[in-house]
């Protein structure tokens, strides 16, 4: 128990330099800030009738924003969770008048003005007086005995120690010479204030952190608005990816199975006409038709993999990725760090599979690589959501880039649709690394089961 208390008190002392570094400069900062804001406010209000005052008021709002941002940076310098800045209004409007009016329509600007003009000015002066007095008294008290010998005697017939003793023990008749009494009394007071300095500094700093979180930090509505924007962007990306996939499927069906089925129909019609006149020719045409039907069936099976390959549905992501590696013309080494009992959402598995399939296809077609590597794992952050991380790398020539309308751009849209991200690193000369991160909305198993296959 004592060890824990000592550790806590020691940690408070370690924060004293940062806390005092925040508190002691408060007086000039809050005074200058309040004077500038009050001057701009009074000038703006007085000159508003002739329109010039508007520019003073705009300057006041922008200075309040700068002052609050500076104060937020100072607060974040102290120990404690980082206070995120607000999401400033960006309504998309441009132009001189839009920029002029925007500070007045943003609630955060008014919060920053209230902080700089009133709250921080009052609280800052009180905090500075307490912090400065406490620090100076503590340091002066514990060191007074060192330099008191050079202070001329004042001719007093009393001293601080006598006053303290007679206050707590009335009628004691305690007497001591002036210098000794002052040295002892001030030393005791200095020690007491020095021992309590960490608590005072930390308490004042925490008060400012609370005010900053209330007036300078991000609001819950900001986070909600950003979540709505992210959901909207993800929905649009999903719709765009779905449209691209449907157009590609339509083109692939038109260029592949549809052409073969047309040829099959023509061969069957020709065989029917030759059946009585030239049976050998008819048999040849029927044999070609069988080949056309087989090719059409193979192409349809290949296209169906674009939706959900059977091995992914039946055996899961790890087996599907290994199947991709086995079919690749370039040797692929697979590192599977997925827990053996992990259960991933279907949309996450499909997105990861298509990222791997497209990346390995690009390796085979464009990279001129001798070897590729595919890795997949579940990444976790403390007290945060898990995510699936998949990476495909090769030792090829590099130079890969996301071009609108091509494979990597399509993958980016697909991943945005499920809230994921795609990154491509491909300098000229290689190596190329395609990495995908997909958030996992539901809990998954945490066991281990890393395997590697060539």
Domain end residue (candidates: 156, 185, 215)? 215
Q: Same structural domain for residues 335 and 204?
A: no
Q: Same structural domain for residues 414 and 320?
A: yes
Q: Same structural domain for residues 441 and 371?
A: yes
Q: Same structural domain for residues 265 and 352?
A: no
Q: Same structural domain for residues 285 and 352?
A: no
In a domain, 245, yes or no: no
Longest dimension (CA), the chain: 144
In a domain, 144, yes or no: yes
- DSSP string covering 362-425: HIIIII--S-EEEEEEEE--TTS--EEEEEEEE-S-------TTSHHHHHHHHHHHTT-EEEEE
pLDDT at 1: 39
pLDDT at 151: 75
pTM (two decimals): 0.52
Q: Same structural domain for residues 442 and 379?
A: yes
pLDDT at 3: 40
In a domain, 244, yes or no: no
In a domain, 248, yes or no: no
Please state, in angstroms and rounded to a whole number, the distance separating the CA atoms of residues 317 and 304: 17
In a domain, 285, yes or no: yes
Domain end residue (candidates: 304, 334, 365)? 304
CATH number at residue 408: 3.30.565.10
In the chain, how many domains are there? 3
Supply the Cα-derived Rg of the chain in whole angstroms.
38
Domain end residue (candidates: 269, 304, 339)? 304
In a domain, 197, yes or no: yes
pLDDT at 447: 46
Q: Same structural domain for residues 177 and 279?
A: no
In a domain, 409, yes or no: yes
- The answer to whether residues 35 and 63 touch, using CB atoms and an 8 Å cutoff, is no
Sheet containing strand 387-394, edge to edge, reads 421-425, 432-439, 387-394, 372-379, 332-336, 451-453
Residue recorded with tokens 């491509």? 424
Run means of pLDDT, 10 residues per run, the chain, 454 residues: 56 91 94 94 89 88 93 92 82 62 82 93 95 92 82 66 67 64 82 92 94 86 58 58 62 58 73 76 78 70 60 82 85 88 82 84 82 89 78 86 65 77 85 88 53 52
CA-closest candidate to residue 88, choices 227, 217, 234, 213:
217
CA-closest candidate to residue 57, choices 73, 41, 35:
41
pLDDT at 201: 94
Token pair recorded at residue 66: 């700068």
Q: Same structural domain for residues 21 and 157?
A: yes
Q: Same structural domain for residues 275 and 407?
A: no
pLDDT at 4: 43
In a domain, 225, yes or no: no
- The answer to whether residues 146 and 216 touch, using CB atoms and an 8 Å cutoff, is no
Q: Same structural domain for residues 262 and 366?
A: no
Residue-number span of the structural domain to which 92 is assigned = 2-215
Q: Is 234 helix (H, G, I), strand (E, B) or coil?
A: helix
Strand pairing category for 332-336 and 451-453:
antiparallel
Q: Same structural domain for residues 206 and 270?
A: no
Q: Same structural domain for residues 189 and 293?
A: no
């Amino acid at each position: 128990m004592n060890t824990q208390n000592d550790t806590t008190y020691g940690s408070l002392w370690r924060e004293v330099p940062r806390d005092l570094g925040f508190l002691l400069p408060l007086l000039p900062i809050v005074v200058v800030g309040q004077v500038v804001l009050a001057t701009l406010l009074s000038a703006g209000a007085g000159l508003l009738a002739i329109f010039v005052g508007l520019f003073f008021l705009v300057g006041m709002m922008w200075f309040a924003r700068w002052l609050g941002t500076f104060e937020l940076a100072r607060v974040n310098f102290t120990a404690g969770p980082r206070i995120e800045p607000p999401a400033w209004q960006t309504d998309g409007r441009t132009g001189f008048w839009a920029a002029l009016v925007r500070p007045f329509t943003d609630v955060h600007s008014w919060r920053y003005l209230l902080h700089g003009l009133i709250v921080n000015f009052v609280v800052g002066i009180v905090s500075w007086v307490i912090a400065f007095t406490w620090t100076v008294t503590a340091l002066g008290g514990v060191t007074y005995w060192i330099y008191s010998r050079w202070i001329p005697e004042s001719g007093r017939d009393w001293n601080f120690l006598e006053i303290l003793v007679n206050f707590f023990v009335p009628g004691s008749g305690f007497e001591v010479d002036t210098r000794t009494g002052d040295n002892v009394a001030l030393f005791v007071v200095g020690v007491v204030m020095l021992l309590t300095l960490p608590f005072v500094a930390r308490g004042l700093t925490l008060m400012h952190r609370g005010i900053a979180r209330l007036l300078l930090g991000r609001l819950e509505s900001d986070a909600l608005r950003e979540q709505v924007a992210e959901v909207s962007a993800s929905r649009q990306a999903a719709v765009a990816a779905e449209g691209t996939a449907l157009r590609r499927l339509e083109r692939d069906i038109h260029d592949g199975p549809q052409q073969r089925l047309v040829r099959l129909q023509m061969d069957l019609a020709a065989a029917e006409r030759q059946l009585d006149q030239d049976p050998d020719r008819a048999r040849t045409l029927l044999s070609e038709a069988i080949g056309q039907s087989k090719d059409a069936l193979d192409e349809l099976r290949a296209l169906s993999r674009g939706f959900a390959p059977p091995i992914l549905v039946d055996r899961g992501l790890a087996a599907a990725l290994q199947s991709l590696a086995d079919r690749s013309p370039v040797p692929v080494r697979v590192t599977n760090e997925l827990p053996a009992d992990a259960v991933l959402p279907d949309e996450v598995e499909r997105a990861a599979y298509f990222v791997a399939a497209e990346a390995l296809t690009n390796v085979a077609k464009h990279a001129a690589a001798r070897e590729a590597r595919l890795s997949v794992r579940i990444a976790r952050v403390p007290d945060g959501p898990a995510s699936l991380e998949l990476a495909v790398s090769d030792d090829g020539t590099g130079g890969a880039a996301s071009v609108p309308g091509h494979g990597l751009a399509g993958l980016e849209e697909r991943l945005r649709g499920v809230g994921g991200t795609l990154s491509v690193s491909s300098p000229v000369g290689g190596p190329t690394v395609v990495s995908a991160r997909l958030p996992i909305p539901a809990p998954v198993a945490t066991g281990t089961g890393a395997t590697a296959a060539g």
